[in-house]
Chains A and B, each alone.
Chain A
Amino acid sequence: MLAFIIRRLLQSFFVIMAVGLLAFTLFRFVGDPVNQLVGQDTSVEDRERLRTALGLNDAVPVQFVRYMWRAVQLDFGLSYQFKQPVMQLIAERFPATFELALVALFLALAIGIPMGVYTGLYRDSWLSKTFLATSLVGISLPTFFIGILLIFVFAVQLKMLPSFGRGQVVDLGFWNTGFLSRSGWLAVIMPAITLGLFQMTLIMRLVRAEMMEILRMDFIKFARARGLKNRAVHFGHALKNTMVPVITITGLQFGSIIAFAIITETVFQWPGMGLLFLRGVQTVDIPIMAAYLMLIGVLFVIINLIVDLLYFAVDPRIRSAAKATG
Chain B
Amino acid sequence: MQHVEPSIPKAGQPGPRASALSRFFDSDLWYSFTRSKVTMLAGFVTLLYALGALLAPWIAPNDPYDLTKLTLWNSNLPPMWLAQGNPEFPLGTDDQGRCVLSTILYGLRISLGVGISAVAISGVIGIALGLISGYVGGRLDAIIMRIADVQLAFPAILIALFVDGTLRGMFPNAAREASAFWILVIALTLAFWVQYARTVRGSTIVEKNREYVQAARVIGLSSFTIMRRHVLPNVLGPVLVIATINLGLAVLTEATLSFLGVGFPPTEPSLGAMIQIGSRFLFSGEWWITLFPGIALAVLVLAINMLGDWLRDALNPKLR
Contact, chains A and B (beta carbon distance below 8 A): yes
CB under 8 Å from chain A, chain B span 1-34: 2-4, 6-7
A296 to B: closest C-beta gap in Å: 5
State in angstroms the CA–CA spacing of A137 and B305 once bound together: 10
- Return the contact of B305 from the options A136, A206, A299 (Cβ within 8 A): A136
Most chain B beta carbons < 10 A, residue from A141, A142, A282: A142
Question: Interface readout for B287-320 with A: 1 if CB under 8 Å, 0 if not?
Answer: 0001000100111111001100100100010110
CB under 8 Å from chain B, chain A span 167-198: 198
B259 at the interface (CB under 8 A from A): yes
Q: A145-B275, A152-B283, A245-B6 are in contact. Are A260 and B155 (CB under 8 A)?
A: yes
Question: Interface readout for A57-101 with B: 1 if CB under 8 Å, 0 if not?
Answer: 000000000000000000000000000000000000000000000
Q: Tell me if A29 and B165 are in contact (CB < 8 A).
A: yes
Number of B residues near A (Cβ < 8 Å) is 57
Across-interface contacts of B166 in A (CB, < 8 A)? 26, 29-30
A48 at the interface (CB under 8 A from B): no
CB under 8 Å from chain A, chain B span 238-284: 248, 252, 255-256, 259-261, 272, 275-276, 279, 282-283
- Return the contact of A15 from the options B6, B150, B170, B312 (Cβ within 8 A): B150
CB under 8 Å from chain B, chain A span 129-148: 132, 136-137, 139-145, 148
A50 at the interface (CB under 8 A from B): no
Give A246's nearest chain B residue, CB to CB: B6
Q: A140-B305, A209-B312, A249-B3 are in contact. Are A31 and B154 (CB under 8 A)?
A: no
Q: Tell me if A301 and B153 are in contact (CB < 8 A).
A: yes
State in angstroms the CA–CA spacing of A299 and B256 once bound together: 24
B220 at the interface (CB under 8 A from A): no
Q: Tell me if B205 and A266 are in contact (CB < 8 A).
A: no
Across-interface contacts of B260 in A (CB, < 8 A)? 262-263, 266, 278
B158 at the interface (CB under 8 A from A): yes
Across-interface contacts of B153 in A (CB, < 8 A)? 19, 255, 296-297, 299-301
State in angstroms the CA–CA spacing of A6 and B263 once bound together: 42
B161 at the interface (CB under 8 A from A): yes
Q: Tell me if A29 and B169 are in contact (CB < 8 A).
A: yes
B152 at the interface (CB under 8 A from A): yes
Comparing B63-71, B98-106, B138-146, the segment that makes contact with chain A is B138-146
Across-interface contacts of A166 in B (CB, < 8 A)? none
B162 at the interface (CB under 8 A from A): yes
A154 at the interface (CB under 8 A from B): no
A283 at the interface (CB under 8 A from B): no
Q: A29-B166, A216-B318, A253-B3 are in contact. Are A144 and B205 (CB under 8 A)?
A: no
A128 at the interface (CB under 8 A from B): no
State in angstroms the CA–CA spacing of A260 and B252 once bound together: 13
- Return the contact of B141 from the options A14, A245, A325 (Cβ within 8 A): A325
Q: A26-B165, A152-B282, A245-B6 are in contact. Are A140 and B259 (CB under 8 A)?
A: no
B137 at the interface (CB under 8 A from A): yes
Q: Tell me if B301 and A206 are in contact (CB < 8 A).
A: no
State in angstroms the CA–CA spacing of A22 and B158 once bound together: 12
Across-interface contacts of A14 in B (CB, < 8 A)? 146
Q: Tell me if B152 and A317 are in contact (CB < 8 A).
A: no
B55 at the interface (CB under 8 A from A): no
B84 at the interface (CB under 8 A from A): no
Q: Tell me if A142 and B169 are in contact (CB < 8 A).
A: no
Q: Tell me if A144 and B149 are in contact (CB < 8 A).
A: no
- Return the contact of B302 from the options A15, A31, A137, A252 (Cβ within 8 A): A137
Q: Tell me if B248 and A140 are in contact (CB < 8 A).
A: yes
Q: Give the interface SS of chain B, mostly helix, strand, loop or mixed.
A: helix
Q: A15-B150, A31-B169, A136-B305 are in contact. Are A26 and B162 (CB under 8 A)?
A: yes
State in angstroms the CA–CA spacing of A30 and B170 once bound together: 8
Question: Interface readout for A21-33 with B: 1 if CB under 8 Å, 0 if not?
Answer: 0100011011100
A10 to B: closest C-beta gap in Å: 10
Across-interface contacts of B168 in A (CB, < 8 A)? 30-31
A139 to B: closest C-beta gap in Å: 7
Q: A213-B318, A245-B6 are in contact. Are A142 and B272 (CB under 8 A)?
A: yes
- Return the contact of B149 from the options A15, A148, A210 (Cβ within 8 A): A15
Q: Tell me if B279 and A144 are in contact (CB < 8 A).
A: yes
Q: Tell me if B146 and A326 are in contact (CB < 8 A).
A: no
- Return the contact of A256 from the options B2, B6, B248, B272 (Cβ within 8 A): B2
Give A32's nearest chain B residue, CB to CB: B169
B157 at the interface (CB under 8 A from A): yes
Across-interface contacts of B165 in A (CB, < 8 A)? 26-27, 29-31, 281
Q: Tell me if A198 and B146 are in contact (CB < 8 A).
A: no
State in angstroms the CA–CA spacing of A304 and B259 once bound together: 30
B214 to A: closest C-beta gap in Å: 12
- Return the contact of B279 from the options A145, A245, A259, A266 (Cβ within 8 A): A145
B59 at the interface (CB under 8 A from A): no
A5 to B: closest C-beta gap in Å: 14
CB under 8 Å from chain A, chain B span 107-163: 137-138, 141-142, 146-147, 149-150, 152-155, 157-158, 161-162
Q: A140-B301, A141-B298, A202-B2 are in contact. Are A11 and B255 (CB under 8 A)?
A: no
Across-interface contacts of A310 in B (CB, < 8 A)? none
Across-interface contacts of A256 in B (CB, < 8 A)? 2-3, 155
* B interface residues, Cβ below 8 angstroms from A: 2-4, 6-7, 137-138, 141-142, 146-147, 149-150, 152-155, 157-158, 161-162, 165-166, 168-170, 205-206, 209, 248, 252, 255-256, 259-261, 272, 275-276, 279, 282-283, 290, 294, 297-302, 305-306, 309, 312, 316, 318-319
* A interface residues, Cβ below 8 angstroms from B: 7, 11-12, 14-15, 18-19, 22, 26-27, 29-31, 132, 136-137, 139-145, 148, 152, 156, 198, 202, 205-206, 209-210, 212-213, 216, 245, 248-249, 252-253, 255-256, 259-260, 262-263, 266, 278, 281-282, 293, 296-297, 299-301, 304, 317-318, 320-321, 324-326
What 5 A-B pairs have minimum CB-CB distances, sorted nearest first? A30-B165, A300-B153, A29-B169, A140-B301, A325-B137
